[in-house]
Structure 1
Amino acid sequence: MHLHGVFTPVADLAVQRGAAVVVQTERGTELGTALCPATAAAVEQIPDPTEGELLRLATPADQAKAQEHQARRRQDYDDAARLILQHHLPMQLVDVEWLLGEERVIFYFLAEQRVDFRELVKSMARHFRKRIELRQIGVRDEARLLADYGDCGKPVCCNTHMLAMPPVTMPMAKLQKATLDPAKISGRCGRLKCCLRFEYEAYLELAQKLPAVGSTVQTRRGRGRVVEQEILAQRLLVELEDGRHLTLPLAEIDAVLHNPRSGQSARPTPTPPASPLPDDSTEPDDR
């Protein structure tokens, strides 16, 4: 699940960035990757970090054992899926994870509601002869486990740099003028793409600088009504009183006469452009 945490070395180890390490967590002995020193700034970026001990640098034997676990996942997946069918449970198996120390085997599954899998766990424990953990996850977690590349051609964000997956809403797509075709704005998980959230705050800040759609504005070419916003370009499509449609930069809007956001009308207060000071002049002081 790409968990991040703070681990204290049990001995004086020289650990390189990106080194494979063996750590002790609350789940057991696991294989991990060293990212950086656990400075206050780094730990602050991790939501709900796990903690544990850094036991040693991974040895060739550790790497071979991890590869052995990886190789048997397919067969273990098939065996577990067969047991699920035998117990007639409404759950979909997603992935299998062996801990390096083999303290337990974790099976991730999807289900629309809570599932009573107590009898299934007993059957799986007899079959695998290991401690079994069944963990229910959501569709976005499934993408984090299994997805590879997104529509942009890069590895999916949830499987690379994202530590948390906050909700993404349809208003975010609408504000960014994204197509509302679900097939084009949905990610590998079938939910709205996380990238719609990345630029949402910037769009929101820029949109607040523009008169809302439906506003009555006074432009240098006459009075008109805002028909559409071009948020990133900071331009407006304005329908003038004579029926013309013009795309105008924000600088050519002299005043907002009526803003539907506030429902208030205002008298035009055009602001003449400031004239540049002569090269040999100085700015007046504030006294």
Structure 2
Amino acid sequence: MDYKDMKFKVWHGCDRGLCHKGCGRQDRQLNTFDWLADVPGNNQTTDLVEVQFKNTRKGYYHNVNNLDLKKGDIVAVEANPGHDIGVVTLTGRLVKLQIKKASGIKSPDDIKRVYRLAKDVDMQKYQEAKAREHATMIESRQIAKGLGLKMKIGDVEFQGDGNKAIFYYIADERVDFRQLIKDLAAAFHVRIEMKQIGARQEAGRIGGTGPCGRDLCCATWMKNFSSVSTTAARIQDISPNPTKLAGMCAKLKCCLNYEVDDYMEASRKLPSKEVLLETMDGEYHLFKTDILSGQCTYSTDKNLGANLETISAERAKEIIEMNRRGEKPLSLLEDGKAKPAKKSADLLAGADLSRFDKAKKRKKNNQQRNYNGQQGGRPQRENRRNQRDQQDNSRQQGDNRRQPNENRRPQNSNRRPNNGPRPAQQQREGATPNGRNEGRQPQKTERTQE
């Protein structure tokens, strides 16, 4: 095919339901996927738009000026007083569904208007107001501490035009902050609004990563927080460890409620813990269960795990029905056969320990045979040499035992000293380097005269 003169066109369609209009143009929290973004006439079905502000705060507004708004556009919306700056996060039919889930809207009159797309002047004021938030939060904490109020100011949000500031605080008890509002208004010269939030809302506003490795649910998609109790952990057979069950907000994890319904439905198919299984081998007590896989582990001891056997829930119910009819199976096995005898766990059972000695003796003989083959006739020559040396030593010791006596035997002047070497031995000492006894030292024997 000739691609030289062909005109190419950039494709902006969707693939498998994923579209750039539904996903992108924002990296904020609580992002909603607009799966109706490419449906023709979606934006004309309603003039409502969803606008998000700092962190997780959202609002819903009427597009009375019929602006061509898309996801990610920065707009100026109506506020009391002045105007605020936010980002469009949703348009079209899905906005109506989002309004039904929102808890802050009580009547249609609470929905305000979208003024315009943000201009450069609006963005400049917005950046100046945002630059004051951190210093304002630090100073407001010092003011609240000076008044002795038991509260924590977690965040401060300025309105887009800088005329209003929202102070988010956490308190376990009711706080009388009338004097605090007066001091804050005198210090910052803006309109003050106090808004109480919980620990979960604070974690959602700050954001973070959970123990699962993903972003926090309260910071990505969760808007309404339902109560979580330890009953959910007990139903799912989770260990009641506070450090494992608590989330980033130091409260029980919201995800404990996600699968409770599935676990409750699956647990109805399992046998009761109070029912015993009677077999020819003995009685079995329910030790533990795997709820999702439907496996039950039984033990012969009620409190300890002894002779554990794992069977399916259907097999357990079958044995229960047999016990009600007065029948007892041979074992808990599926086929009803007797339980096979366990083999000995002793690895040395029936083994001969002397097998190692035989191997060592055979190895030693092989090494000696190899050594003799390498050395040739040298060991035999060494043995003959050692025998001659022993004979010489015995003769020398016999001569030393004789005591000198001039009357009985004349002394021979030519006789060698007692401690001196024999002539043959002297000859061996003076042998050439190639001699047989090269470097051999004469053996001297000393005898004490009695």
TM-score when scaled to structure 2? 0.52
Indicate the larger mover: 4-13 or 151-160.
4-13
1:81 equivalent to 2:81? Answer no
1:246 equivalent to 2:338? Answer no
Q: Is the 8 A contact 1:218 1:253 kept in 2?
A: no
In structure 2, distance between residues paired with 1:13 and 1:172: 47
1:208 equivalent to 2:268? Answer yes
Structure 1 position 82, deviation (Å): 1.7
Matched residue SS, 2:248: coil
Aligned residues: percent identity?
29
Matched residue SS, 1:121: helix
Letter aligned with residue 116 of structure 1: D
Letter aligned with residue 2 of structure 1: T
Alpha-carbon distance change, 39 to 159 in structure 1, aligned in 2, over 3 angstroms: closer
In structure 1, distance between residues paired with 2:229 and 2:237: 13
CA displacement, residues 188-225 of structure 1 (integer Å, 9 cap, x when unaligned): 11101111111111111111221233333579x99743
Q: Is the 8 A contact 1:20 1:32 kept in 2?
A: yes
Letter aligned with residue 180 of structure 2: L
Unaligned 5+ runs, structure 1: 259-264, 270-287
Aligned to 2:103: 48
Q: Is the 8 A contact 1:172 1:200 kept in 2?
A: yes
- Aligned pair partner of 1:7 in 58, 61, 71: 61
Letter aligned with residue 144 of structure 2: I
Alpha-carbon distance change, 224 to 114 in structure 1, aligned in 2, over 3 angstroms: same
In structure 2, distance between residues paired with 1:150 and 1:36: 30
Which structure features the higher share of helix residues? 2
Indicate the larger mover: 163-172 or 151-160.
151-160
Unaligned 5+ runs, structure 2: 1-54, 106-110, 328-450
Aligned to 2:151: 91
In structure 2, distance between residues paired with 1:111 and 1:41: 34
Letter aligned with residue 308 of structure 2: H
Indicate the larger mover: 50-59 or 151-160.
50-59
1:34 equivalent to 2:89? Answer yes
In structure 1, distance between residues paired with 2:278 and 2:123: 70
In structure 2, distance between residues paired with 1:54 and 1:256: 70
Aligned to 2:12: none
Counterparts of residues 189-204 of structure 1 (less than 5 Å): 189-204=249-264
In structure 2, distance between residues paired with 1:256 and 1:103: 75
Q: Is the 8 A contact 1:218 1:255 kept in 2?
A: no
Higher RCO (CA < 8 A, seq sep 6+): 1
Aligned to 2:71: 17
CA displacement, residues 167-206 of structure 1 (integer Å, 9 cap, x when unaligned): 1111111222323221221111110111111111111111
Letter aligned with residue 247 of structure 1: T
Alpha-carbon distance change, 212 to 78 in structure 1, aligned in 2, over 3 angstroms: same
In structure 1, distance between residues paired with 2:155 and 2:75: 23
In structure 1, distance between residues paired with 2:66 and 2:239: 55
Structure 1 position 5, deviation (Å): 4.7
Aligned residue pairs: how many?
A: 263
Indicate the larger mover: 170-179 or 22-31.
22-31
Q: Is the 8 A contact 1:18 1:34 kept in 2?
A: yes
Letter aligned with residue 247 of structure 2: G
Alpha-carbon distance change, 3 to 222 in structure 1, aligned in 2, over 3 angstroms: farther
Letter aligned with residue 246 of structure 1: E
Letter aligned with residue 181 of structure 1: N
Counterparts of residues 272-283 of structure 1 (less than 5 Å): none
1:185 equivalent to 2:245? Answer yes
Q: CA RMSD in A?
A: 3.2
Alpha-carbon distance change, 59 to 223 in structure 1, aligned in 2, over 3 angstroms: farther
Structure 1 position 268, deviation (Å): 8.8
Structure 1 position 247, deviation (Å): 1.4
Alpha-carbon distance change, 78 to 4 in structure 1, aligned in 2, over 3 angstroms: closer
- Aligned pair partner of 1:135 in 190, 195, 209: 195
Letter aligned with residue 253 of structure 1: A
Indicate the larger mover: 245-254 or 79-88.
245-254
Larger radius of gyration: 2
Indicate the larger mover: 28-37 or 41-50.
41-50
In structure 2, distance between residues paired with 1:56 and 1:222: 81
Matched residue SS, 2:253: coil
Matched residue SS, 1:35: strand
1:173 equivalent to 2:233? Answer yes
Indicate the larger mover: 77-86 or 44-53.
44-53
Alpha-carbon distance change, 240 to 252 in structure 1, aligned in 2, over 3 angstroms: farther
Q: Is the 8 A contact 2:152 2:169 kept in 1?
A: yes
Alpha-carbon distance change, 254 to 109 in structure 1, aligned in 2, over 3 angstroms: closer
Alpha-carbon distance change, 61 to 3 in structure 1, aligned in 2, over 3 angstroms: same
Q: Is the 8 A contact 1:217 1:255 kept in 2?
A: no
Aligned to 1:158: 218
Letter aligned with residue 37 of structure 1: G
* Runs of 4+ deviating beyond 6 Å: none
Q: Is the 8 A contact 1:96 1:107 kept in 2?
A: yes
Structure 1 position 24, deviation (Å): 2.8
TM-score when scaled to structure 1? 0.78
In structure 2, distance between residues paired with 1:216 and 1:66: 71
